[in-house]
Amino acid sequence: MGKPTIICIDDEQLVLASLRDSLHQALGNDYVVEIAESGEEALELITELLATATEIPLIISDQLMPGLKGDEVLAEIHRYLPRTLKVMLTGQATADAVGRAVNHANLYRYIPKPWSGLGLIEMVKSALEQYFQDQDTHEVNSVLQELNEQLEQEVELRTAALRYHINLEQLITEISTQFLNTNTVSIDDQINDALDQFGRFFGVDRSYVFRVDPTRQEVCCSHEWCGPGIQAYREQLQGLPIVAMPWLFKQLKVGKTVLIPAVENLPPEATAERAEFQMEGIQSLICVPVMVQEQWVGFVGFDVVREQQTWPIQTVH
């Protein structure tokens, strides 16, 4: 990116030379002054400058030129450089032409020829000051807008998390109340119903309860719920030796919840677990240990078969 560039457009070389010399003398080396003898040449020049990310704060254009007229050139430039200030410097502009430049190019100033050298320089300096003030304001507003969007997104996420937590707590309370009012004869039905409700709430395909037999060092699937079209595996998961899946059961035994977002990414030490899960068509799962007096007595699991799933942190907790 080079120095900021001012572009002067006029079909008279003497006018361009005069403008360039006046601007160089007034602005020194802080700006580059480029000239173009037609609207078409100006558009080519701007394309080259934009390719090098050169900033163009000000454009000064004549109105009556061969080819594109000044108002047409400024309107076209405005499509690409809406914040660049545009000045029409001409002695032969109609009210309609100036009006079009105002409406379609956001014309900053109209200066008739012949111009006052001091007045022109004061206008240019004022325009440059306004341009960079506007740029600073635009950058600040952009930062504020980005921060505001981030804040809104954070509020939405927190609101969704709170709503999710409240709904989950309500579901747990309802299921707990049902269990308290259930006799031992219908306890299995209540467990199956609870698995159904939790499975649907979490959006999974399969939920289940495993019990630990410490004497036999086995686990068995005592209850299972499956969503529509999902195969059940309860009958096949009876008397499963704890040593058959050491990576999983070692963590559950010490009360650690096991979250597996992608079965295919399980570590090498979980080879047995990966083979079993893939055989059941599981892509993601979570297993929550059940502890009684610090002793592992079983676990509750939730499988996702149709697609991989990453659970929100509040679900894991």
Amino acid in the structure at residue 132: F
Task: Name 137's Cβ contacts closer than 8 Å, sequence gap at least 6.
Answer: none
User: 301 has which bridge partners?
Assistant: 208, 287
pLDDT, residue 142, reads 81
pLDDT tens by residue, 127-152: 999 988 888 787 777 888 888 888 88
Rounded to a whole number, what is the distance in angstroms from the first to the last CA of the chain? 51
**Cβ-contact 59, 7 below 8 angstroms:** yes
Does this model's pTM top 0.85? My answer is: no
pLDDT, residue 171, reads 66
For residue 305, the number of C-alpha atoms closer than 13 Å in the C-beta half-sphere is 15
Question: How far is the C-alpha of 148 from the C-alpha of 224, rounded, in Å?
Answer: 46
Q: Reduced to 3 states, what is the DSSP secondary structure of residue 90?
A: strand
Question: How far is the C-alpha of 287 from the C-alpha of 209, rounded, in Å?
Answer: 10
| Mean pLDDT score, 26-38 | 91
Q: Tell the CATH topology of 199-316.
A: Beta-Lactamase (3.30.450)
pLDDT, residue 61, reads 93
67 has pLDDT over 70: yes
Q: Reduced to 3 states, what is the DSSP secondary structure of residue 108?
A: coil
154 has pLDDT over 90: no
Question: How far is the C-alpha of 130 from the C-alpha of 224, rounded, in Å?
Answer: 71
Longest dimension (CA), the chain: 106
Whether CATH 3.30.540.10 fits 5-135: no
Question: How far is the C-alpha of 41 from the C-alpha of 137, rounded, in Å?
Answer: 32
pLDDT, residue 85, reads 93
N residues, the chain: 317
Q: Helix %, strand %, coil % for the chain, to 5? A: 50, 20, 30
pLDDT tens by residue, 70-96: 999 999 999 989 999 999 988 777 888
Give the domain ranges of the chain: 5-135, 199-316
Scanning 106-116, the segments in alpha helix (DSSP H) are none
pLDDT, residue 8, reads 94
Give φ, ψ of 225 to 5 degrees: -120, 135
The closest alpha carbon to 70, from 29, 30, 99, belongs to 99
Average pLDDT score, the chain: 87
